[in-house]
Amino acid sequence: MKKMPPNKSQGCGKTPGGIKGFKRWFMSYRIGLFALCLLALGATQKLCPIHKAPMTRKQVPIIFLVDRLNVEEWQVYTNARARLFPYSCDEIYTNAGNVFNSKEFQKHGWKNVPTNAWIYVCPTCDERKRQWLAEHPPHAHKPGFFP
Protein backbone atom coordinates (compact mmCIF):
# COMPACT_ATOMS: atom_id res chain seq x y z
CA MET A 1 0.00 0.00 0.00
CA LYS A 2 1.28 3.36 -1.01
CA LYS A 3 1.61 6.05 1.60
CA MET A 4 -0.31 9.21 0.79
CA PRO A 5 1.29 12.58 1.38
CA PRO A 6 -0.26 14.50 4.29
CA ASN A 7 -3.15 16.75 3.42
CA LYS A 8 -2.00 20.34 3.61
CA SER A 9 -5.34 21.48 5.04
CA GLN A 10 -4.75 19.37 8.17
CA GLY A 11 -1.89 21.56 9.34
CA CYS A 12 0.36 20.30 12.12
CA GLY A 13 -2.14 17.81 13.50
CA LYS A 14 -3.13 19.69 16.66
CA THR A 15 -6.16 21.36 15.10
CA PRO A 16 -7.76 19.45 12.24
CA GLY A 17 -8.30 21.53 9.17
CA GLY A 18 -5.36 23.93 9.47
CA ILE A 19 -6.14 27.64 9.81
CA LYS A 20 -9.79 27.22 8.81
CA GLY A 21 -10.22 24.43 11.36
CA PHE A 22 -8.54 26.52 14.02
CA LYS A 23 -10.84 29.46 13.29
CA ARG A 24 -13.88 27.17 13.49
CA TRP A 25 -12.65 25.69 16.78
CA PHE A 26 -11.80 29.10 18.22
CA MET A 27 -15.17 30.56 17.20
CA SER A 28 -17.05 27.71 18.91
CA TYR A 29 -14.80 28.18 21.96
CA ARG A 30 -15.66 31.92 22.09
CA ILE A 31 -19.39 31.21 21.73
CA GLY A 32 -19.19 28.64 24.54
CA LEU A 33 -17.25 31.07 26.74
CA PHE A 34 -19.80 33.80 26.04
CA ALA A 35 -22.65 31.44 26.97
CA LEU A 36 -20.90 30.53 30.23
CA CYS A 37 -20.46 34.22 31.06
CA LEU A 38 -24.17 34.84 30.47
CA LEU A 39 -25.07 31.92 32.71
CA ALA A 40 -22.73 33.18 35.42
CA LEU A 41 -24.22 36.67 35.26
CA GLY A 42 -27.73 35.25 35.42
CA ALA A 43 -26.82 33.14 38.44
CA THR A 44 -25.92 36.26 40.42
CA GLN A 45 -29.24 37.94 39.63
CA LYS A 46 -31.65 37.14 42.45
CA LEU A 47 -35.32 36.81 41.52
CA CYS A 48 -38.23 36.94 43.92
CA PRO A 49 -39.64 33.41 44.00
CA ILE A 50 -43.18 34.81 44.41
CA HIS A 51 -43.27 37.62 41.81
CA LYS A 52 -40.29 36.65 39.59
CA ALA A 53 -39.11 40.26 39.84
CA PRO A 54 -35.39 41.13 40.13
CA MET A 55 -34.44 41.72 43.74
CA THR A 56 -32.23 44.60 44.88
CA ARG A 57 -29.57 44.53 47.57
CA LYS A 58 -30.36 46.82 50.50
CA GLN A 59 -28.74 47.68 53.81
CA VAL A 60 -31.20 47.65 56.73
CA PRO A 61 -30.85 48.33 60.45
CA ILE A 62 -31.07 45.55 63.04
CA ILE A 63 -33.48 46.55 65.82
CA PHE A 64 -33.12 44.88 69.20
CA LEU A 65 -36.43 44.43 71.02
CA VAL A 66 -36.75 43.67 74.70
CA ASP A 67 -40.47 42.87 74.48
CA ARG A 68 -43.19 43.11 71.87
CA LEU A 69 -45.71 45.79 72.81
CA ASN A 70 -48.79 44.37 71.14
CA VAL A 71 -48.46 40.65 70.45
CA GLU A 72 -51.76 40.37 68.56
CA GLU A 73 -50.83 43.15 66.09
CA TRP A 74 -47.41 41.59 65.62
CA GLN A 75 -48.90 38.17 64.87
CA VAL A 76 -51.33 39.63 62.30
CA TYR A 77 -48.45 41.48 60.62
CA THR A 78 -46.09 38.48 60.54
CA ASN A 79 -48.83 36.22 59.16
CA ALA A 80 -49.61 38.75 56.40
CA ARG A 81 -45.92 39.18 55.69
CA ALA A 82 -45.39 35.44 55.27
CA ARG A 83 -48.30 35.19 52.81
CA LEU A 84 -48.29 38.50 50.91
CA PHE A 85 -44.87 40.18 51.04
CA PRO A 86 -42.21 37.75 52.29
CA TYR A 87 -39.27 39.53 50.60
CA SER A 88 -39.99 43.05 51.81
CA CYS A 89 -37.94 44.41 54.65
CA ASP A 90 -37.08 47.82 56.07
CA GLU A 91 -35.55 46.55 59.28
CA ILE A 92 -34.65 43.31 61.02
CA TYR A 93 -36.10 42.70 64.46
CA THR A 94 -34.33 40.43 66.90
CA ASN A 95 -34.76 39.54 70.54
CA ALA A 96 -32.35 41.61 72.62
CA GLY A 97 -32.27 38.91 75.29
CA ASN A 98 -30.40 36.60 72.91
CA VAL A 99 -27.75 39.26 72.36
CA PHE A 100 -27.36 40.29 76.00
CA ASN A 101 -27.02 36.68 77.20
CA SER A 102 -24.39 35.69 74.65
CA LYS A 103 -20.79 35.13 75.76
CA GLU A 104 -19.55 37.42 72.98
CA PHE A 105 -21.66 40.31 74.30
CA GLN A 106 -20.57 39.64 77.88
CA LYS A 107 -16.93 39.76 76.78
CA HIS A 108 -16.89 42.69 74.30
CA GLY A 109 -20.15 44.59 74.79
CA TRP A 110 -21.72 46.37 71.79
CA LYS A 111 -18.40 46.56 69.93
CA ASN A 112 -18.89 43.26 68.04
CA VAL A 113 -22.69 43.34 67.73
CA PRO A 114 -23.81 44.05 64.14
CA THR A 115 -26.29 46.90 63.81
CA ASN A 116 -26.87 46.66 60.02
CA ALA A 117 -27.34 43.83 57.54
CA TRP A 118 -27.34 43.51 53.75
CA ILE A 119 -30.40 41.73 52.35
CA TYR A 120 -32.16 41.20 49.03
CA VAL A 121 -35.55 42.90 48.69
CA CYS A 122 -38.29 42.48 46.08
CA PRO A 123 -39.80 45.81 44.89
CA THR A 124 -43.21 44.16 44.30
CA CYS A 125 -43.20 42.81 47.87
CA ASP A 126 -42.30 46.33 49.09
CA GLU A 127 -45.30 47.76 47.25
CA ARG A 128 -47.62 45.10 48.66
CA LYS A 129 -46.29 45.84 52.16
CA ARG A 130 -47.05 49.56 51.74
CA GLN A 131 -50.59 48.72 50.59
CA TRP A 132 -51.15 46.33 53.51
CA LEU A 133 -49.86 48.87 56.06
CA ALA A 134 -52.16 51.55 54.59
CA GLU A 135 -55.14 49.21 54.96
CA HIS A 136 -54.14 48.05 58.48
CA PRO A 137 -52.87 51.05 60.47
CA PRO A 138 -51.42 50.23 63.92
CA HIS A 139 -53.56 50.88 67.00
CA ALA A 140 -52.78 53.90 69.15
CA HIS A 141 -50.58 53.06 72.13
CA LYS A 142 -50.77 54.39 75.64
CA PRO A 143 -48.47 57.33 76.47
CA GLY A 144 -45.16 56.27 77.97
CA PHE A 145 -44.88 53.11 75.90
CA PHE A 146 -42.60 52.68 72.92
CA PRO A 147 -44.56 52.10 69.70
Q: Which residue has the higher pLDDT, 39 or 21?
A: 21
Average pLDDT score, the chain: 74
Backbone phi, then psi, for 79, in 5-degree steps? -65, -45
Q: Residue 11 — pLDDT band, cuts 50, 70, 90?
A: very low
CA–CA distance, 58 with 92 (Å, rounded to integer): 12
CA distances from 53 to 88, 108, 115, 122 (A): 12, 41, 28, 7
Strands (E), the chain: 56-65, 92-95, 116-121
Q: Residue 147 — pLDDT band, cuts 50, 70, 90?
A: very low
Burial code of 108-122, b = ≥16 C-beta within 10 A, e = fewer? eeeeeeeeeeeeebb
CA angle (33 as vertex; 16, 28 as ends), nearest 5: 30
DSSP notation for 17-39: THHHHHHHHHHHHHHHHHHHHHH
Let me know: does 138 contact 73? Beta carbons within 8 Å.
yes
Backbone phi, then psi, for 43, in 5-degree steps? -70, -25
Extents of the domains making up the chain: 14-44, 56-135
First CA to last CA distance, the chain: 98
CA–CA distance, 131 with 125 (Å, rounded to integer): 10
Mean pLDDT of the 27-48 span: 60
83-112 tens-digit pLDDT: 999 999 888 877 777 777 778 777 888 787
50-79 tens-digit pLDDT: 899 999 999 999 888 776 667 788 889 889
The answer on pLDDT for 30 being more than 80 is no
